[in-house]
Structures are given as C-alpha cells and as structure tokens.
Amino acid sequence: MKKQVTVAFAVLVGSLTFAQKSELKDAEKAIKKNNYAEAKSAINAAESLIGSADDKMKANFYFLKGQALYANGAGSEADMDAAIESLNMVEKVDGSNSKYSGEVNDIKQKMLESFLTKANGALEKKNFVASSKGFEKAYKMSTKDTLYLYYAAATAVNGEDYDNALKHYEALKDLGYVGIETEYVAVNKETGEEETFPSKSLMDISVKAGTHITPATKQSESKRAEIVKNIALIYMTRGDNEKAVAAMKEARKANPEDSSLIISEANMQLQMGNKEEFKSLIEEALVSDPNNPELLFNLGIVSAEGGDAESAKGYYEKALQIKPDYTDVHNNMAVLILGQEQKLIEEMNALGSSAADNKKYDELKENRSELYKEAIPYLETTLKLRPTDLQAAKTLVNIYSALGETEKMKVMKTKVEALESGQ
C-alpha cells in the first residue's frame, strides 16, 4: 500500500512539472509575439504551482513574468512594480550568474532609463507626485543608487505627498544616506557666475572652449540635516509635534557636532511658535560657529520680532562684518531702522498747535529725516546686490521724495516703472 501511494505521488509531481513547463513555454511564445496579455494569462496559470518547482524553473518563471508585466515598457504602474520584483527574484533564486543575467540586466537598464526619463519629464512639468513615483521605481531597479530615493523623497514633498515622502526619508535615514557628492564647477565668463557640470570631462571641454574659467572640484554638503529636518516637518504638518521634536533630538544626539542640525531644530521650534527655544538653539549653534553670518542673521530676526531692536542691529552689523554682501541683512537692517518711524509719526500726530508743540514737531520731523538717511545706504546696497527688488526701489522713491532729493527720486522712479513693466 505504501508503494502505491509513493508511485501515485511521483506521477502527480511529474504532471505538475509538465503543466508548468507547458505554461511557461506558452508564455515565452506569447512574449516573442509581443502578445503580453496572453503571456500574463499563461504566467498566472503557472504561478500557483511554481512554489514546488526547482530553482532553475523558478528563475525561468520570474524571468518570463518580469517580461510579461513589463510589456516592453507598456505595462501599467502596478505591473511595472511587480515586474521589478520578478526580475530581482531571478538573481535571488538562481544567483548572479544565472543564464538570464544578461537579458535581465538589459531589460532593467531599459526600465531604469524609461523611469528616469518619465521622472525628469514630470519634474519639468511640475508634476511632482508622478516624478516621485518615477524616481522610486528607478531606485527599486538600482538600490545602490540611493540618490534616486532621495529624489523620490524630495519630489514627494514638493507634491505634498507627505506619506510617501516620510517613508522615503525614513528609509534614507536608516540607510545612513548623507548625499555628499563630487561637484565639478567653473565660472561662466559671460555671467561671472559659478556653474556646476555633471562630469569633469564636460567641465574641461567648456574651459578649453574658453566659455568658462577657474575650474574646481568640490564636495557637496551633507543632506543628513535636510533629511532629518524634513522628517520632523512632516510630523509637524500632521500635528504630531512630539514626534517631530523626538526625531530632531535623536539626530542631534547621534551627530552632536553637526551645527546644521541645531539650526534645523531651531527653525522647527520657530515654526511651532517657540521663539525663546529658537533663540536659545541659535545661540548654542553660534558657540561652535561664531563667525557664521546665517546664525547672526537669524538671531537678528528673532531679536527684532521680540522688540529688541538694539540687539537685532548688533547681530546684523556683525553679520555684515563677516559677509558684507549679505543682501538679506542689508534689507532687514533698513526695515529695522524704518520700523522706528511709526512711533515718531504717532508722536507728531498727537501734538497740538502751541509754539512748544510746533518746536517738538520740527524736532521729531528732523529725527524722522535722520532715520531715512540712516536707512538709505542699506536700501541702495540691497538694490545693488538684488537689482530686481521692487520693494526696495519703491521705498527709496518715497525716502528721496521726503528728503527733497528730487533728481534721485526721478531716477529711482524710472527704475520702479521699468521693474513693474518687466523690462
């Protein structure tokens, strides 16, 4: 009786193997005819039986399944994801030297190029969600290229797809991704601006052609702080401030010397409305990086918002000593100075018509003129550094008019008109 059961079982296994081979042959024939619907049908019929197959047959199955789902680039989004998994399974079950390795790599390369082309195309059209999905698929095709996962996360944020952005950023954090890359830069002779090239050879060609000068190789900044910051900000958008703070503190604990993380936490605290915590963190960062104009600028902002104009002015002045062409500091210094005008106007309006009041009015008017004169150099520098700053130009028109500087007012008014007309 035992012998009969064994024989019957052997016959059953043999029939299953024959069925699998038959269906896989059908799938292979359909693929050669570009009949992917028929190929998928044959694959589906074989799938329930493939668990008992040997590795050689499994590799064949996953290879054909990947081709059928990919459909030479015409597969649906869901089919593409399944195709990637199937093609990756070929190596898992049959090793890196599988008989299908060459063909699998060719298909993967085509898929990768297709995903990247679509992702970049969607990005140009500002379709960030579609772009993110494309970069995500590219990463699945080539998991060693973590840059694609970073792009998937960044574009998901731009598309406000925060669930996927968080998933990608968490994966990047777990991978220890920092994103430091070699950059090839040279100065454009015509514009005087530094430009980045995708490769050293392209940079060298431009320098040789005479369009660029001063070639250099640089290391890009780490993206670690940006990743952690975005994880925290996504938690904030969900109203989960506790997780946001925990994520930032975890990153800082792991990287205590990274001042950029302190700044990220400070900015997060500011967005939560915790101005004192913001100021404390910026001051902490300033201890390790005392000559950082960005930190001084931020301390100037929070001091100004807190009503401490003198401290704000001191921070701004120190920032300008370190970085004289810091446009935003020049602009903010002008705003800080002109912010004192309202108090003078209120005092002037509250005066009566007595001789003493008239004398006081003239004194206040003179004080207002002095404020204007103090603000002018900062506004003029702002406009010099940022020639399209319409607000700075309009403010100068008003100040020149108030001070009776008619010629300067006319020149600036012409500039305002040109900016408003887009010339």
Specify the residue for token string 């598309």: 159
Distance from CA of residue 279 to its chain's centroid?
26
One domain, residues 236 and 380: no
Q: Is residue 314, in this structure, part of any structural domain at all?
A: no
* Same structural domain, 53 and 150: yes
Farthest-apart Cα atoms in the chain, separation? 129
Distances (CA, A) of 171 to 98, 146, 157, 224: 30, 10, 15, 12
Work out the burial of residue 25: count CB atoms within 10 Å of its CB; fewer than 13 is exposed, 13-18 middle, 19 or more buried: middle
Has residue 415 been placed in a domain?
yes
For residue 187, give its domain range.
Answer: 182-219
* Vertex 165: Cα angle to 163 and 166 (nearest 5): 65
Please indicate, yes or no, whether residues 339 and 234 belong to a single structural domain of this protein.
no
- How buried is 417 (Cβ within 10 angstroms: 0-12 exposed, 13-18 middle, 19+ buried)? exposed
Strands lying side by side in the sheet with 212-219: 194-197, 182-188, 212-219
DSSP 204-250: HHHHHHTSEEEEEEEEPPPSHHHHHHHHHHHHHHTT-HHHHHHHHHH
Q: What is the mean pLDDT of residues 215-221?
A: 86
Residues 152 and 28 in one domain: yes
- Considering the domain architecture, whether residues 46 and 61 belong to the same structural domain is answered as yes
Return the minimum-mean-pLDDT range out of 1-10, 16-25, 308-317, 373-382.
1-10
Q: Kindly report the CATH number assigned to the domain that includes residue 242.
A: 1.25.40.10
pLDDT computed for residue 9 by the predictor: 37
Is residue 333 a part of any domain in this protein?
A: yes
The residues with which 187 forms a beta bridge, in sequence order, are 194, 213
Structure tokens at 72: 């030479």
Average pLDDT over residues 344-353: 86
Q: Are residues 331 and 215 in the same domain?
A: no
Give tens-digit pLDDT for 41-100: 888 887 776 766 777 888 888 888 888 888 887 888 888 888 888 888 888 877 767 788
The CA distance from 5 to 11, in Å, is: 10
Do 206 and 91 lie in a common domain? no
Average pLDDT over residues 302-329: 90
| Residue 158 sits in the same domain as residue 195 | no
List, in sequence order, every residue forming a beta bridge with 235; answer none if it has no partner.
Answer: none
Q: Is the dihedral of CA 91, 96, 101, 105 positive or negative?
A: positive
**Residue 7 located in a structural domain:** no
Q: How many domains does the chain have?
A: 4
In a domain, 46, yes or no: yes
Q: Find the CATH number of the domain harbouring 383.
A: 1.25.40
Report the chain's mean pLDDT, rounded to a whole number. Answer: 84
Strand-pairing partners, residue 184, are 197, 217
Q: Do 189 and 283 belong together in one domain?
A: no
- 169, 95: one domain: yes
Determine, yes or no, domain membership for 42.
yes
What φ, ψ does residue 194 adopt, rounded to 5°?
A: -80, 135
Average pLDDT of the segment spanning 341-354 = 86
Are 33 and 168 found together in one domain? yes
Q: Is 304 contained in some domain?
A: no
Same domain, 138 and 31: yes
Task: Please report whether residue 264 resides in a domain.
Answer: yes
CA 219 to chain centre: 18
Whether residue 423 has pLDDT greater than 80: no
